[in-house]
Structure 1
Amino acid sequence: MKILVTEAISETGISLLRDEHEVDVRKVTSEELLEIIPEYDALITRSETKVTAEVLARGTRLKVVGRAGVGVDNIDVAAATERGVVVVNVPGANTYSTAEHAFGLLIAVARNIPQAHHALAREGRWDRMSFVGTELHGKTLGIIGLGRIGSEVAVRARAFGMRVLAYDPYVPHSRAEHLGVTLVPSLRGLLPEVDFLTIHAAKTPESARLIGAAELALMKPTARIVNCARGGMVDEEALYRALKEGRLAGAALDVFAAEPCTDSPLFGLPNVVVTPHLSASTAEAQDANGRYIAQYVLRALRGELVPEAVNLPQIPRDGVQVVTDHLPLAETLGSFLAQAFPGHADRITVAYSGELAKHPTALLTNTVLKGYLATQLGEHVNYINAPALARRRGIAVNESKSLTHAPLGENGTLSPASSLITVRSEGPQGAHEVTGMLRRDGGMRFVAVDGLHIDMAPSRHMLVSQHRDQPGMVGRFGMALAARDINIAGLHLGRHQPRGMALMLLQIDEPAPPDLVAELREAMAVDTVQAVTLPLGRQP
């Protein structure tokens, strides 16, 4: 495949990519990108390349876009998701370098280090009185965003003897207590308390101008601000006025609303320290950025799951293993239901019971939809765009969870530790459902189909028959398959009552040709026979 790298990443990353694919490293304009993107299967950028909806629309071969850095605000993630393009970034690679840079700026703005350096080294002035600073010890640091980077800044601040407050509505109190940090329930409650403020929140539409004139007015006139997160989260015009008018003591900025930024009114103020987006600019961070983004992109190109993708439902670390273990089962159940009981579905419900119900299951539901829709849409559908494609086809999707299991019929009891996934479709052709689970050895089992208790391992090729229960049906199917030299590997029969409607699942060693399926439907006088080919064991 072909990979386009439009901004510099480490040679380690480039080498990993070239071990498997063809790689072009070239800086391009927006117009050039639109012209050449149809040739590529993957695109790797940093912060300057704008991956717009138009770029994604023209990139008909694109499978993955990688951002070798923290944010993805230069990528239209919604458009990528609609097209099934994986979007990955590497927020963890810059953690230490960004935390250290933020703390360096904190010290620099507190002690006027760059200004004193300029006066002495550039102007030849030995001026100790003009650059009297303030100590960090005993002061209050406010952190907006207590994620990876914010947490590392908190650790360093505590080592300097600072009192640390934080505003982050997504962090549990237990996490803050572990770090020795006091959580404040609102931004407006945080700002009046702090002597220093540092921002480490993600940039979203809601946080685009997190600190504006109203927020600055809440802060002490002796307070100082550090921003190593994303440009624009501090209103630069409002910040300039507050600093100029003495309503704020100082600011240190590594990021700007428009980059590269080489001219700003802020640059002329004596109480401002600036750097040109250097927070990730260490040899270690650059090497890790390139290595991680290469690994994620390669996994996406292989068709493997990339849990780090930003447009996938996120899974807490303690749930990753159990959820990913069930992904092949989820796809298989969706695929089986779509093929065994074809027709338009108005609604698909995915029910989780047992241990699995304790974990986030959105990714599993996406994977059920992938299995279900792939029978109609082929390889175009994946675990990223499946929900959008379901909506487009008028399919409502629901989840339900229960920590206990519903009865599965005679001899159908399960241990409390078992996890079940039930997929139900409802449409003009009626309602149908299938329930599956994993054995302790990881093998799949179907345990119920349309309310009938079964216990069988699905095979890649199957025949599913719905017919009136009567003697000789199994033999007649066997004879028809034998005439085509198709071996039966196993079968399961289920019925609600004698001579009533019965369900037969035949495991066969090779796919049944369409003319044989048509022949079985006519000759056996059955309600329906469907050939099923399942994606067993294939990671979605």
Structure 2
Amino acid sequence: MIENQTVTRAPAATACAATKYKILVAEPLGQEGLELLRRYAQVDVRLKLSAADLAACLPAYHALIVRSGTQVNQTLLDAGKNLVVIGRAGVGVDNIDVDAATHQGIVVVNAPTTNIVAAAEHTIAMLWALARKIPQADASVRRGEWKREQFVGVELVGKRLGLLGLGRVGGEVARRANGLGMQTVAFDPYVSLERAAQMQVKLLSFDETLATSDFISLHTPATAETKKFIGAAELTKFKRGAFLANAARGVLLDENALLDALDAGQLAGAALDVFENEPPQNERLLRHPAVVLTPHIGGSTTEAATRVSLQIAEQVLDALHGRPARFAVNTPPSASALAPALQSYLGLAELLGRFYTKWVGGPLGDLEVEYAGKLAAEETGGLTAALIKGLLEPIVETRVNLVNAQWVAQMHGIHLAERKTPHAARYENLIALRGERVVCGTLLLDEPHIVQLDGNWVDFVPRGYVMLTRHRDRPGMIGKVGALLGAADVNIASMQVARERPRGEAIMVLNLDDPVPDAVMETLRREFDMQWSQTLTL
């Protein structure tokens, strides 16, 4: 259940301290947020400033609040010599140079949870528009026509809705679709059967979701792996005559492939609120009669605007008063409260989490992290937050950092227990992450190493392309794998095999300089009798 109300916390400041901080609001912000800010700071609203004028006045301010229309670049950051925090009143921060802000110790905050209901409702509206041809019928009537026979639609009741991604927005769409009498199914490898059942959603494979759904809606985070993950090949797997809606991210969909599928009759229609380039310039897309287009307004409602203004105001005030901001996009180095002995282990913890998520490739479930050796004597909450950050960043849309990691994990139903032991086998310190699989890591010469996989002792640096296999140890296996990769022009940087006993179960780990083609991986599984094999990009 999504909370629609923002609970406004009273910042720990007094009225007499209100003049200590100055906040510049450079783009429109809801009145509710402005009123909250004015209780504790001096607030100036100066809209439509040129870049030069903004840079000229910025030195006088401790906080800057923008939407998407202001480019907060290196030049502007250099001008803001007294900036403590930048607030983005919305979700995306593409218009802010977050890395540069981090280097200058400036906190960047956004409001990622305020438009979930709005986005879900817009998705449902797009489904209705597709099913009943509402935009086309409206345009026809405005042209003076009365062609009722051209706009015979279909009902949503009884139709199957396939959700690609079952996160917070996808879950809200499912709740509404179920209420409309639709049969809701989903593909999301990181959602458990139990969690899906709570949402009254049936989990299916990717291909089955595409092949059996009357409507498909995209709700997948934008990552390197999901860029154009709906392309020509995937569209051929859709149920013929299906409809597609995308109010998530434009990069998920190959627009030209979509248009080809529409022209071929493979799809009956599509509704897009997001695009590969915004505003869209694809004339073929803009003119296509079977496409419904809206200008990225999925999160734009009066109620969402109120929530955005309050959430961003709360976080700006938190940052100004030195308190953790729940949705800090970055965590400037100066803000870290970790003990010096733990600083170097932050990267290891995050890397272990990222490795685990990519290795498991499915629901994370209940997990346990164990800190062994000298680490057991330290306060390790920051390391656990870094580990959660690594676990979640590949699979969630919300930006995860050391401040909000525990909260984001709870929102996604992930439970992580923590334990400690002074005994670290073989190493001075060891971090072990246990769940469906087990991965352990340590630092060697200040560099992260993974040293155990599912109880097998290994030693490799998790960087670039890493291929993992599990097979029965037998003569010639290493040579066969090497020959297969060599024939595909895949260079092996290092290779090792860990085994329980001669000719017993073994794990092979290869650091590679090049990605492994899918056909090569299929040959590996089919002809070499692998229990499992996969390539991770780290």
TM-score normalised according to structure 2 size: 0.57
Please say if residues 347 and 426 of structure 1, whose CA atoms lie closer than 8 Å, have aligned partners that are also in contact.
Answer: no
Does residue 1:17 correspond to 2:37, yes or no? yes
* In structure 2, C-alpha distance between the alignment counterparts of 1:246 and 1:135, rounded to whole Å: 20
- Correspondence list, 1:88-237, <5 A: 88-120=109-141, 122-186=142-206, 188-237=207-256
SS of the residue aligned with 1:104? helix
Matches for 1:340-419 after TM superposition, within 5 Å? 361-362=384-385, 403-404=419-420, 406=422
Paired residue for 1:267, among 279, 286, 292?
286
CA distance in 1, matches of 2:132, 2:210: 22
Give the partner amino acid of 2:148: R
8 A contact 1:42–1:64 mirrored in 2: yes
Matched, 1:240 2:265: no
Residue 185 and residue 74 in structure 1: after superposition, are their counterparts in 2 closer, same or farther (change >3 A)? farther
Q: Counterpart in 1 of 2:330?
A: 311
In 1, the alpha carbon distance for the partners of 2:55 and 2:258 equals: 37
Which one-letter code corresponds to 2:226 in the other structure?
Answer: S
Q: Distance in 2 between matches of 1:347 and 1:47?
A: 35
CA displacement 1:252-302 (0-9 Å, x = unmatched)? 112223334487432322211112222222211111111111111111111
- Cα offset, 1:82, TM superposition: 3.6
Q: What is the rounded CA distance, in whole Å, between the counterparts of 2:421 and 2:76 in structure 1?
A: 47
Runs of 5+ in structure 1 lacking a partner?
A: 314-327, 339-344, 367-381, 385-400, 408-424, 428-540
Aligned-residue sequence identity (percent) comes to 44
- Deviation string for 1:52-110 (max 9, x for gaps)? 45544554433222222223333343443343332222222111111111101111111
Return the letter of the residue paired with 1:196.
F
> Alpha-carbon deviation of 1:115?
1.2
Deviation for aligned residue 1:223: 1.4
User: Could you tell me whether the CA contact under 8 Å between 1:354 and 1:403 is conserved in 2?
Assistant: no
Give the paired residue count. Answer: 356
- Once residues 191 and 104 of structure 2 are traced to their aligned partners in structure 1, the CA distance between those partners, rounded to angstroms, is 32
What displacement does 1:147 show? 1.7
Structure 2 match to 1:454: none
CA contact (8 A) 1:254 1:276 kept: yes
Structure 1 residue 363, shift from structure 2 partner: 5.8
What residue in structure 1 maps to residue 70 of structure 2?
A: 49
Find the residue that maps to 2:23 and give its secondary structure: strand
Q: What SS does structure 2 have at the residue aligned with 1:191?
A: helix
Equivalent in 287, 298, 302 of residue 306 of structure 2: 287
**Letter in structure 2 aligned against 1:91:** P
CA distance in 2 between partners of 1:354 and 1:155 (Å): 46
Counterpart-to-counterpart distance in 2, 1:260 and 1:156: 29
Q: Per-residue deviation at 1:177?
A: 1.4
* Aligned CA distance change for structure 1 residues 274 and 404 (closer, same or farther; 3 Å): closer
Asked whether the equivalents of residues 251 and 271 of structure 1 are also in contact (C-alpha less than 8 Å), the reply is yes
Answer with 1 or 2: which has the greater Rg: 1
Partner of 2:96: 75
Taking a change above 3 Å as real, the CA distance of residues 215 and 50 of structure 1, as seen in their structure-2 partners, is farther
Aligned mates of 1:76, 1:88 — CA distance in 2: 12
The SS at the match of 1:74 is: coil
**Partners of 1:125 and 1:245 in 2: how far apart?**
27
Instruction: Give structure 2 stretches of 5+ with no counterpart.
Output: 1-20, 349-370, 390-400, 404-416, 424-442, 446-538
CA distance in 2, matches of 1:146, 1:245: 29
By how many angstroms is 1:28 displaced? 4.0
Tell me, yes or no, if the aligned pair for 2:227 and 2:251 is still in contact at 8 Å.
yes
> Which one of the candidate residues 293, 312, 315 is aligned to 1:296?
315
Larger mean CA deviation between 227-236 and 261-270 belongs to: 261-270
Q: What is the rounded CA distance, in whole Å, between the counterparts of 1:67 and 1:249 in structure 2?
A: 38
1:46, CA displacement in angstroms? 2.2
Q: Is 1:334 paired with 2:332?
A: no
